[in-house]
């Protein structure tokens, strides 16, 4: 299978213009089409042993979670100017995804531009929010930059598994799940010093404006004679007004930005450098 995939590397527009290669019977009403391996290492980044291990991992998670998890490496974008469009089209024309909505996620590495792209479809859009895709990219970046591709793909697969489970439990990965960098020990002392200096300057500035005011024995001594005379007083209630604003509901996609592919299909996804 690997040899056949590497022969497809030179196909124009990365399979888009070679629709005849993909049999129509691959379009199943449910489940997986399973016409292509979930790993397409067209850039030949992995050893035979690493490929076998990764395919087994992707197969086990995809079939257990009922959501396709795919990894693709490419030497270049085969004439595409937009790597996101390339990834979306490759996902569709290889018929990846589970069920009628083609639920899944594809990671593509463009070795020419040193870019990574992720395309999601169906329930993959819900499970892999913008925050989740950002996290995946950050988790893989160090290994991708160092050329440890097998390690990066293992991280990707494990994180995908966890994120799908989290989404099915009703709590898709969100910004609150992103790790926060610890504050430097110097931050607190610096903030305290700045606060004390600012407070000292403010208080002294206010105090300087009160030099002409002198303490009086009675409150009436502060009122200028003849400055205020009240003949009568009463309170009048004029009217009451209440503004009601409907609370905005969150999208069912769980904070996932979506776009249309060249075929008009809705995809989620993201991109980054390595």
**How many C-alpha atoms does 89 have within 13 Å on its Cβ side?**
20
Q: Which of 11-20, 121-130, 235-244 has the highest mean pLDDT?
A: 121-130
- The pLDDT of residue 48 is 97
In angstroms, the CA 253 to CA 24 distance is 30
Delimit the domains of the chain by residue range.
2-12+33-178+253-273
Q: Which residues of 218-243 are buried (b: 16+ CB within 10 A; e: fewer)?
A: eeeeeeeeeeeeeeeeeeeeeeeeee
Strand partners, 273: 115
pLDDT at 212 over 90: no
pLDDT at 40 over 90: yes
Mean pLDDT of the chain: 81
pLDDT at 121 over 80: yes
Q: So what's the architecture of 2-12+33-178+253-273 in CATH? A: Roll (3.10)
- The pLDDT of residue 195 is 75
30 compared with 28, residue with greater pLDDT: 30
pLDDT confidence tier of residue 211, bands split at 50, 70 and 90: low
């Amino acid at each position: 299978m690997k040899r056949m995939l590497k022969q497809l590397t030179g196909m124009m527009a990365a399979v888009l213009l070679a629709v005849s290669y993909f049999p129509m019977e691959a379009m199943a009403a449910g489940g997986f089409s399973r016409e292509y391996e979930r790993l397409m290492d067209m850039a030949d980044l992995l050893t035979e042993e690493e490929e076998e291990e990764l395919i087994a991992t992707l197969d086990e998670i995809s079939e257990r979670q009922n959501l396709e998890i795919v990894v693709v490496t490419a030497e270049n974008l085969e004439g595409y100017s937009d790597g996101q469009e390339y990834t979306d089209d490759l996902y569709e024309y290889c018929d990846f995804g589970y069920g009628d909505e083609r639920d899944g996620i594809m990671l593509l590495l463009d070795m020419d531009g040193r870019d990574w792209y992720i395309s999601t479809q169906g329930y993959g859009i819900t499970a892999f929010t913008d925050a989740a895709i950002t996290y995946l990219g950050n988790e893989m970046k160090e290994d991708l930059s160092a050329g440890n591709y097998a390690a990066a793909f293992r991280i990707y697969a494990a994180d995908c598994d966890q994120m799908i489970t989290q989404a099915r439990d009703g709590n898709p990965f969100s910004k609150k799940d992103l790790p926060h960098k610890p504050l430097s020990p110097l931050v607190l002392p610096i903030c305290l010093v700045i606060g004390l200096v600012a407070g000292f300057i403010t208080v002294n500035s206010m105090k300087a404006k009160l030099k002409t005011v002198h303490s009086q024995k009675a409150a009436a001594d502060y009122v200028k004679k003849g400055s205020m005379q009240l003949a009568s007083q009463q309170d009048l209630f004029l009217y009451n007004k209440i503004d009601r604003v409907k609370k905005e509901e969150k999208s069912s996609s769980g904070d996932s930005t979506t776009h249309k592919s060249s075929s008009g299909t809705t995809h989620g996804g993201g991109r980054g450098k390595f």
